[in-house]
């Protein structure tokens, strides 16, 4: 029950800060995706470029932009 209340509170904070409805905020933020790429040198995850609207939402919520590249894993070295 407490988690539901906290989730609703977070939704309301986001709606008030952005002056936008939660469905619209969620729809815009869900456009960003994360892809995993692998090759001979290793693997990494890369997110799509953020749109101006997504950057504006993050700025209004005072959140840092997520890193473009993450989970950098070099291939295992042959012994």
Residue 17 placed within a domain: yes
pLDDT of residue 76: 81
Q: How far apart are CA 19 and CA 3, in angstroms?
A: 24
Residue 61 placed within a domain: yes
The number of folded domains in the chain is 1
| pTM for this prediction | 0.80
Tens-digit pLDDT profile for residues 8-66: 999 999 999 999 999 999 999 999 999 999 999 999 999 999 999 999 999 999 999 99
Residue 15 placed within a domain: yes
Residue 51 placed within a domain: yes
Residue 54 placed within a domain: yes
Q: How far apart are CA 28 and CA 36, in angstroms?
A: 21
Residue 6: which domain range?
2-68
pLDDT of residue 77: 56
Q: Own/partner pairs for 47-50, CB < 8 Å, 24+ apart?
A: none
Q: How far apart are CA 15 and CA 62, in angstroms?
A: 13
Residue 74 placed within a domain: no
pLDDT of residue 78: 47
Q: What is the rounded average pLDDT for all residues in the chain?
A: 93
């Amino acid at each position: 029950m407490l988690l539901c209340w906290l989730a609703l509170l977070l939704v309301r904070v986001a709606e008030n800060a952005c002056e936008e409805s939660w469905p619209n905020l969620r729809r815009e933020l869900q456009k960003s995706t994360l892809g995993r790429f692998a090759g001979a040198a290793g693997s990494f995850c890369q997110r799509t470029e953020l749109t101006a609207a997504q950057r504006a939402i993050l700025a209004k919520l005072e959140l840092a932009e997520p890193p473009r590249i993450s989970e950098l894993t070099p291939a295992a070295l042959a012994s």
